[in-house]
Structure 1
Amino acid sequence: MTGTELQAFLAAFDALPAGAFTGLANGRKYAVIRQDLAAGKAQKLVAHELGGSDYISLNLYRLASGARLKPCEMPAEAVIRFVLDLKVME
């Protein structure tokens, strides 16, 4: 991931609300939970597609050396695309 891609991903991730919400990504509706852990040094996002089988899970670590994305059993590209496309539903 380039520096520009990382900054776009972090901006999109940081714009998401903490806690549980419903979102729309790639034309599909998801139940999403975003948590801040370890005083904000670690963050977790889990999304389950409503009415479908898609599942997204990632951990994001905010280290002094920079942000580190750790997807859970899926390619980093998949979680990056998901977060960049995710829109919170009212």
Structure 2
Amino acid sequence: MSFVAPLRNPAFFTTLFSVAGSTYLLRSHMIELSEDHEARMDELGGTLRGHIGHIEEALDRLEGKATEADPGKKMNEYYGKRQRDEKKTS
């Protein structure tokens, strides 16, 4: 049996193209899922930063440390930090 014999068999090419095609489709699907997951995690991180900002502002008000100029200050700090972090990773 020679090396060329399997290449003459049409089933060989059918199998080869089937494996290559399915590998390509799975890879592209995994990349898409990975990008979706990353977007969801970024959104979740922003939501958590917003909640942390609200909690810290409420704590400052309860402790009497807040002034009239403070509302929204912590939120702006967190969102500003997020935007700076996003620019660094881009």
* TM-score bin (small chain): under 0.3
Looking at secondary structure, tell me which structure has more helix per residue. Answer: 2
Larger RCO (CA under 8 A, 6+ residues apart): 1
TM-score normalized by structure 1? Answer: 0.26
Q: Return the index of the structure with the highest Cα Rg.
A: 2
Looking at secondary structure, tell me which structure has more strand per residue. Answer: 1
